[in-house]
Structure 1
Amino acid sequence: MADPVKSSAPKEGARALKVAAVGDLHVREDAQTSYRDLFGEISSEADILVLTGDLTNLGKPREAEMLAEDLRNCSIPVVAVLGNHDYESGAVEDVTKILRQAHVHLLDGQAVEIEEVGFVGVKGFIGGFGSRMLGSFGEPAIKTMVAESVNEAMRLENAMRQVRAKRTLVILHYAPIADTVAGEPPEIFPFLGSSRLAETIDRFQVSAVVHGHAHRGSYEGQTPGGAKVYNVAMHVAKPSGRPYALLEI
């Protein structure tokens, strides 16, 4: 197993926290795949498991129940956000309830502190990157979409302001930068994330950012302000050689 990537130096006297992060599990109601063994392995390698959305394939309560069953084999705390697939069936409240009953810290504009590290999570949204980011102009449908992107960035900022810990990990589903979606078709970049998330992140001191969604993207990048960003979607190649990334916070 490769050594964990050191994303920030803990303050003097604080123990570095090993975080295993993975996204886009896409648990399917009709699948034979189980994540029990993977969660057991992660429990022996890390202190915290972070899941970056698309936990289910179609957002069905039964899929959430299957994930919750597999998570019984995980003996470390689990922190997660939802992804776009988790909304597909219109049962997001049921999915959320099932996962929280399974003791998952499911974040949606909130923060939680575990072992002196703050974990901040929102789903994020689309909109594009840099000078090509979609602006609020034209048809009402465009303005509604941009408003949702802005709202997610504002919810991230509000959650960041809740954090009192010196070390912070930001958990997203959508990407905050273009670098970690590189490898996907350029035509779909606007649907993979938004620079508005990076603009918010760079107003704060963060240890690292993790996201998923871009299955064919790239593992590592950084925001304009220098925050390290990791695409931990399950099928993205990682230094650990495993489906999950290992980070030291």
Structure 2
Amino acid sequence: MERTKKRVAAMADIHVKTSDRGIWKDTFEQLNTEADVLIICGDLTDTGDEDEARVLGEALHGLHIPVIGVLGNHDFEKGRQKIIKQILTEHKMTLLDGEFTVASDIGFAGTKGFGGGFDQFMLSIFGEDMMKEFVHEAVNESLQLDRALTRLEQEHPDLPKVALLHYAPIKNTVKGEPEQLYPFLGSSHLAEALNRRQVTVAFHGHAHGGTIFGQTSGNIPVYNVALPLLRNEHPGTSYMIVEV
């Protein structure tokens, strides 16, 4: 029997503030009829504060579809990322950090990712210890994603695989940002995992001034769903829907 495609709604960089109580109500209610699952690719909070996470958690009550996400750099700002994850998990959001989950007959694997640059301009593990640590972080995030995708493939070989990231895996979806920022917007190490595991589609955020669509060298489609970018390209839009 041919598999019925499901509708994945994707957004990122929603930067919820404590003053945002109630503003997501209509959007989330609309998603109940337009999508089968919602993914949010990081920067869930504006300053990494647990009260901001509580505001988002309250808004999630209006959703009757699965919600899956990863944390972003803003969620780490105050060192309270574990508390943020706990709060949102209590509000029935699944947050991935090198893990996978299955929802709506789709496998989702995710991690935050990190910077390091792209293609021939990637930073190398060379020089000062601090530089090596920076690059190691990107490599480790890529390995986490690869392991999650591997486990997903082993346990659910027939399901499509969707990757969630905050940082970009390819240069094409950060184009539009100043080139000087590229090393801090993502890393090609992440794309290696996407290509190796032949994911169906990948989503990320972080590059607010980037480009919505691109592909890896292995022709994996990649979408930048940062909220400022979506609203700039399609005024009034808060999410993208892709059939998987």
User: What TM-score do the two structures reach when normalised by structure 2?
Assistant: 0.94
| Partner of residue 164 from structure 2, selected from 160, 166, 171 | 171
SS of the equivalent of 1:242 reads: coil
Residue 39 of structure 2 aligns to which amino acid in structure 1?
V
SS of the equivalent of 1:162 reads: helix
**After the TM superposition, which of the residue ranges 120-129 and 29-38 deviates more from structure 2?**
29-38
Partner of 2:2: 13
Deviation, structure 1 residue 33? 6.5
Partner of 2:243: 248
| Partner of residue 156 from structure 1, selected from 142, 145, 155 | 145
Asked if 2 retains the 8 angstrom alpha-carbon contact of 1:236 and 1:243, the reply is: no
| Partner of residue 77 from structure 2, selected from 88, 92, 96 | 88
Deviation, structure 1 residue 166? 2.7
Residue 68 of structure 2 aligns to which amino acid in structure 1?
V
Give ranges in structure 2 of 5+ residues lacking alignment.
none
Residue 61 of structure 1 aligns to which amino acid in structure 2?
E
Partner of 2:48: 59
Asked if 1 retains the 8 angstrom alpha-carbon contact of 2:20 and 2:55, the reply is: no
Deviation, structure 1 residue 226? 0.5
Partner of 1:5: none
Runs of 4+, deviation exceeding 3 Å: 30-33, 237-241
Q: Deviations over 1:190-229 (max 9, x none)?
A: 1000000001110012110000000011000000000000
Q: Alignment identity in percent?
A: 43
Work out the CA distance in 1 between the residues paired with 2:177 and 2:91: 34
SS of the equivalent of 2:218 reads: coil
Partner of 2:89: 100
Asked if 2 retains the 8 angstrom alpha-carbon contact of 1:22 and 1:52, the reply is: yes
Work out the CA distance in 2 between the residues paired with 1:49 and 1:32: 19
Q: Deviations over 1:7-28 (max 9, x none)?
A: xxxxx52111100000000011
Deviation, structure 1 residue 30? 3.8
Identify which of structures 1 and 2 has the higher relative contact order when contacts are C-alpha pairs closer than 8 Å and 6+ apart: 1
Cα RMSD (Å)? 1.4
SS of the equivalent of 1:236 reads: helix
Please state which structure has a larger fraction of its residues in helix: 2
Deviation, structure 1 residue 241? 6.5
User: What TM-score do the two structures reach when normalised by structure 1?
Assistant: 0.92
